[in-house]
């Protein structure tokens, strides 16, 4: 449904240098599939997500939706963004405090200038979920009620005139999700969708995303630094470091048998891990990407003397998009 082919995104840095925020990425999200993009802060996850949404133009490479290359004229982008919707991390920050829940959910319908009388493609599946009144013409109010119902806010009419400050954190995130669902998208890109929520609410939102995948056939890219979240929700995992994917594959394969030292370090912070791996320093400046393996200055195996001469001299190939477990590392596994 959504894929990045040989994607590079650079920004102007100090001293005329270029910051390589996304530095050669191949990534695909299949129909009805949830892919988790994981990595620590500053590794390029959000820039990649924004580029997949068409909010940033790639320096080179290509975004494809349903097999068609993304073009950046206004009409094409508008049509694309109706099919690929964003769920932001902070619902209080993404909702206008002066707008009611109804206005927040209806905003997308109005931006895309849908007629006041509109027959959504999902009417039949809405009926199966019990969230729409029946086949035929549906007006804006019914679409808003349907979206809120699918997001788990029922009865929807009870929430129409509430403001964000009158809702709990979980309810606000459900309103954000409803705003995305109102346009009947095919792909959701969720940037840390539960990071700002209490632990008791996080499971509810993750269960909601899984239910939407199962009942509506939605695809999703979930951007997160939490491998525990990836384990619970994702079909596949892509691990990103300093602008590039260093390991990817089926969730169970990657998280039970991590091959890259960086993935091993990320997993070591989980409570059930037998030993914690502490990486030295911070991720390097993206304007000064290290030679050879970009992870070698912080690699615990190199620090222990178990590295290879190629680690700091020989560049690694860019991983292709695919479902098999694959890793970019010089060291034997």
Q: What are the pLDDT digits (tens) for 178-203? A: 999 999 999 999 998 888 788 888 88
Q: Is residue 223 within 8 Å of 46, Cβ to Cβ?
A: yes
Q: What integer pLDDT is reported at residue 294 of this predicted model?
A: 94
Residue 47 exposed, middle or buried by CB count within 10 Å (0-12, 13-18, 19+): buried
For the whole model, what pTM was predicted?
0.88
The pLDDT of residue 132 is 42
For residues 210 and 177, what is the distance between their CA atoms, to the nearest angstrom?
Answer: 13
Distance CA 120, CA 285 (A): 47
Domain edges within the chain: 1-66+186-333, 98-184
Per-residue confidence (pLDDT) for residue 114, from 0 to 100:
63
| Alpha carbons 264 and 298: distance in angstroms, whole number | 13
Phi and psi torsions of 175, nearest 5°: -65, -40
Burial string for 165-192 (b: 16+ CB within 10 Å, else e) reads eebebbbbbbbbbbbbbbbbbbbbbbbb
Per-residue pLDDT at 125? 39
Proportion of the chain above pLDDT 70, given as a percent = 92
Average pLDDT, stretch 124-153? 67
Band of pLDDT at residue 3, cut at 50, 70 and 90: very high
Check pLDDT > 80 for residue 122. Answer: no
Confidence of residue 147 (pLDDT cuts 50, 70, 90): very high
Cβ contact 15:308 at 8 Å: no
CB of 329 closer than 8 Å to CB of 261: yes
pLDDT at 13: 80
Closest CA to 208 of 177, 236, 251, 250: 177
Residue 117 has pLDDT above 70, yes or no: no
What is the DSSP pairing of strand 84-87 with strand 187-191? parallel
Q: Over range 245-274, report the average pLDDT.
A: 92
138 — pLDDT class (breaks 50, 70, 90): low
Residue 151 CA to residue 178 CA, distance in Å, equals: 5
3-state secondary structure the chain: CEEEEEEEEEEECHHHCEEEEEEEEEEEECCCCEEEEECCCCCCHHHHHHHHCCCCCCCEEEEEECCEECCCCHHHHHHHHHHEEEECCCHHHHCCCCCCHHHHHHHHHHHCCCCCEECCCCHHHHHHHCCCCCCCCEEHHHHHHHHHHHCCCCCHHHHCCCCHHHCCHHHHHHHHHHHHHCCCCCEEEEECCCCCCCHHHHHHHHHHHHHHHHHHCCEEEEEECCHHHHHHHCCEEEEEECCEEEEEEEHHHHHHCCCCHHHHHHHCCCCCCCCCCCCCCCCCCCCCCCCCCCCCCCCHHHHCCCCCHHHHCCCCCCCCCCCCCEECCCCCC
What CATH number labels 1-66+186-333? 3.40.50.300
Contact 176, 94 (CB under 8 A): yes
């Amino acid at each position: 449904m959504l894929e990045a082919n040989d994607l590079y995104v650079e920004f102007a840095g100090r001293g005329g240098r270029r910051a390589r925020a996304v530095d050669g990425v191949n990534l695909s999200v299949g129909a009805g599939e949830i892919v988790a993009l994981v990595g620590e802060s500053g590794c390029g996850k959000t820039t990649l997500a924004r580029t997949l949404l068409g909010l940033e133009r790639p320096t080179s490479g290509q975004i494809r939706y349903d097999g068609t290359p993304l073009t950046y004229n206004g009409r094409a982008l508008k049509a694309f963004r109706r099919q690929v919707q964003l769920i932001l991390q902070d619902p209080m920050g993404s909702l206008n405090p002066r707008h009611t829940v109804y206005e927040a959910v209806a905003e997308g319908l109005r931006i895309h200038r849908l007629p006041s009388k509109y027959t959504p493609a999902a009417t039949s599946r809405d009926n199966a979920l019990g969230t729409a009144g029946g086949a035929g013409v549906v007006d804006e109010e019914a679409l808003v009620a349907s979206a809120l119902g699918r997001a788990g806010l029922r009865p929807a009419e009870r929430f129409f005139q509430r403001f964000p400050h009158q809702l709990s954190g979980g309810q606000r995130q459900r309103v954000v999700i409803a705003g995305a669902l109102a346009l009947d998208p095919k792909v959701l890109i969720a940037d840390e969708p539960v990071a700002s929520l209490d632990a008791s609410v996080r499971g509810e939102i993750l269960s909601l995303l899984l239910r939407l995948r199962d009942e509506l056939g939605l695809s999703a890219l979930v951007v997160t630094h939490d491998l525990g979240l990836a384990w619970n929700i994702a079909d596949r995992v892509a691990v990103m470091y300093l602008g590039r994917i260093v390991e990817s594959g089926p969730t169970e394969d990657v998280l039970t048998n991590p091959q890259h030292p960086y993935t091993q370090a990320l997993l070591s912070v989980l409570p059930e891990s037998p030993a914690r791996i502490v990486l030295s320093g911070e991720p390097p400046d993206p304007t000064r990407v290290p030679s050879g393996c970009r992870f070698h200055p912080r690699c615990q195996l190199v620090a222990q003397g178990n590295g290879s001469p190629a680690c700091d001299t020989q560049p690694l190939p860019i991983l292709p998009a695919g479902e098999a477990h694959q890793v970019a590392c010089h060291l034997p596994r």
